[in-house]
Amino acid sequence: MSPFTRENSLADTLYTRALVRAAEIQGSTQALASLLRVPENTLLRWMVGRAQMPLQAFLRTIQLIADDERKQAPVPRAGDAPSDKLRFKIGELEARCERCDGHDFVQTDPSMPLRYINELLCCGCGNRVVHGNLIAQLAKDAVYHSKALTVQRQKRTAALLDKSRKLRGVQSATRGDGSILPAEGQPGKKTGG
Ligand SMILES: [Zn+2]
- For residue 121, report the distance from its CA to the centre of ligand 1, in Å: 8
pLDDT, residue 182, reads: 54
- For residue 101, report the distance from its CA to the centre of ligand 1, in Å: 6
Confidence tier at 13 by pLDDT (50, 70, 90):
very high
pLDDT, residue 7, reads: 46
- For residue 147, report the distance from its CA to the centre of ligand 1, in Å: 26
- For residue 134, report the distance from its CA to the centre of ligand 1, in Å: 12
Confidence tier at 169 by pLDDT (50, 70, 90):
confident
Over residues 92-100, the mean pLDDT reads: 94
- For residue 130, report the distance from its CA to the centre of ligand 1, in Å: 13
- For residue 179, report the distance from its CA to the centre of ligand 1, in Å: 51
Domains and CATH numbers, the chain: 6-71 (1.10.260), 82-164 (no CATH)
Q: Which residue has the higher pLDDT, 154 or 193?
A: 154
- For residue 26, report the distance from its CA to the centre of ligand 1, in Å: 35
Is the pTM higher than 0.85? The answer reads no
Confidence tier at 149 by pLDDT (50, 70, 90):
confident
Candidates 75, 72, 69, 68; CA nearest to 111 is: 75
- For residue 132, report the distance from its CA to the centre of ligand 1, in Å: 17
